[in-house]
A and B are shown apart, each in its own frame.
Chain A
């Protein structure tokens, strides 16, 4: 075990993969000599050399399109988009090839690759460095979409993503990068992709979230449970596509009440899909309307307004109490 933050834990997973599988290559802007703008790739160029850790010119389309070629040739590319806000420059490759190669070659060529990118607000960054667009990828058949919330699950899920036979968009909550530390096992632990986790057990209400919003969600759960003497369950989705329907609906069947929390815009957000599945599978168990606490349907504000904008524990607690009081 070693105590580390999420940057260290992701670095550990990349290190594990480079060490254990010589087909793994990392590619991206400033990931070598500079060790990544968040230092996620610290020491990896020095340790594995420039045939495994590839500093590229400034072109996301060529990074991801090139990764498709590397994957076709049998390598396992782990690409970094410097920020999720610049992945759109690669989106045609993601939509037209990464997501489709397996299907259109009838299984001949899978796309075992990971595209890592930091997402989300909260670090006072300039425009295009703060949004959450997981829905775009969750809405793209053929992609998996993983969003860790702690150092330990980031390490375990990234390793599982690298070894997954299909392409994984790995959305890293940059607000969590250095927010706290957690014990991470020495051996290369993996967690299953497509499984949500009940991180707090309860009987009266289910809070569902993922990524950076797990912290205010857990804080709200604790506040409301302590203050109001109620029992609150919290589900961390971890993979937002494919969604673990059973864990969500089992929990809501038990509690009868749910609040969905995410940072991205409300319309067609992951919450919309979660609520649809609850309604389809557990409607008869519901004792109150479901509430969503989310980013609003506007462009993520520049950072002077982001603290006010981001969903917080107060807003989650308020929604939780409304649902409990219904």
Chain B
């Protein structure tokens, strides 16, 4: 509540108290990866001249100012709190309590170790094509922990830590990549949508869920994941436009990992930043260091609090990097250099956060090892449970097609059963 009020008064006053935030440099703090011009700070001239309802572009009554830059109200900031070496900006440090800090750390490690295990399992043929999240753990782990159980999380496909935090058993995550529909079934009571493979197609759903919250007067919000490539799809535009028009409680969280398979960010959009796309939809945007869990947490928390106090949507661009392959079917040496990957490896979110937690004495060497051992065991146990539940009846592709199977489908199912019996096909693989 205090945060809400602070945020509101800040919005009304227009003046940000925080001098450490800056509107000009982007990328990782101190790395100066990208720059964008500070030109989005004006008020529509027609509104100044003719009052609020005078449409922009309508013939001017006052010809004294025939041409003027249009002032834009939306705010686009950049935020980073930890530097590349894990040193914290003391003024911005949210000083999250110990339990939450360690939970985020543990979650990031779970995502990392599950990832490593999945890549091995793909090579052994125990799961299919896998899309790793290596390097992006801070984004989805530190953002999802902001959400309350009654809030919703709408997923893309590179957020295993988010599923884990929300209560999806790790073996369910494995089932998706192992080729089982069961991997898309959210546990009862979990307000999440499953992996969405068609890029950006989930964004309108997030908007719709937020619309429902608003129509029903519920004080909840939606967090929606998408990649940099996804911002080029029509669904991105359509959903953000509706969200702006209806002022919906939704946070669009773009993991800009610099690549969409082989297409670099620069070839995806001519926009200097993805965050600034918010301007066109009439709400605020924030670019943050996506390899900095503190920045991710603070940025997402502010956006969610604002959403819940009827402040509308936010577009967050988390600047990060896909350290691994696009999927195990991909060969990135065809389109990007090793040096680029090495540069980003230095900004790996896990050692950075570990250093910060060590400095805060929330972690020590012994605890680091203990947590790693624990998480490895959780992953190994999940793999065992996945393997033990793999033999799934092929006939299971029928019953969930409709709430009630039509006669023709019941007949086809029996035809399938007879064929399987004749062919003596083993279940599953």
Contacts and interface: CB of A to CB of B under 8 A. Distances in A.
Interface of A: 29-30, 32-35, 37, 55-62, 85-86, 88-89, 124-129, 266-267, 296-299, 301-309, 312, 314-315, 318
A262 B179 CA distance: 23
Contacts of B267: 55, 57
Contact of A58 (B260, B335, B416): B260
A124 B397 CA distance: 16
B195 to A, nearest CB: 8
Contacts of A29: 260-261, 263
B6 interface: no
B261 A304 contact: no
Nearest to A86: B198
Contact of B412 (A126, A296, A304): A296
B262 A267 contact: no
Nearest to A57: B232
A58 B429 contact: no
19 contacts: A29-B260, A30-B261, A37-B261, A57-B267, A59-B232, A61-B233, A86-B199, A89-B198, A89-B234, A124-B179, A127-B184, A296-B409, A299-B397, A301-B394, A301-B397, A302-B183, A308-B420, A314-B422, A314-B423
B135 interface: no
A58 B268 contact: yes
Contact of B178 (A299, A304, A306): A304
B117 to A, nearest CB: 18
B397 A298 contact: yes
B409 A33 contact: no
B419 A318 contact: yes
A84 B197 CA distance: 13
A15 B251 CA distance: 46
B367 interface: no
Interface in B170-212: 176-181, 183-184, 195, 197-201
A249 to B, nearest CB: 27
A59 B401 contact: no
Interface of B: 128-129, 176-181, 183-184, 195, 197-201, 229-230, 232-235, 260-263, 267-269, 329-330, 334-335, 390, 392, 394, 396-398, 401, 408-409, 412-413, 415-416, 419-420, 422-423, 425, 427-429
A296 B233 contact: no
Contact of B335 (A33, A56, A57): A33
Contacts of B396: 305
Contacts of B330: 37
Contacts of B183: 302
Nearest to B269: A57
Contacts of A89: 198, 201, 233-235
A305 B261 contact: no
Of the listed residues B179, B183, B195, B396, the one surrounded by the most CB atoms of chain A closer than 10 A to its CB is B179
B233 A126 contact: no
Given A58-B263, A126-B128, A305-B396, A85 B198 contact: yes
B240 to A, nearest CB: 15
B234 A303 contact: no
Given A32-B262, A34-B334, 16 more contacts: A30-B263, A37-B261, A37-B330, A126-B177, A126-B179, A126-B197, A129-B197, A296-B416, A299-B401, A302-B181, A304-B179, A304-B390, A304-B392, A308-B420, A315-B423, A318-B419
A309 B199 CA distance: 26
B392 A305 contact: yes
Contacts of B235: 89
A194 B425 CA distance: 37
Query: Nearest 7 CB-CB pairs, A to B?
Result: A34-B262, A304-B179, A308-B394, A303-B179, A57-B232, A58-B229, A301-B397
Candidate in A129, A296, A312, A315 with the most chain B CB atoms within 10 angstroms: A296
Nearest to A90: B234
A312 B425 CA distance: 11
Given A58-B230, A128-B198, A298 B398 contact: yes
A85 B197 CA distance: 10
Given A33-B262, A297-B412, A299-B397, A124 B234 contact: no
A305 B229 CA distance: 30
A229 B415 CA distance: 27
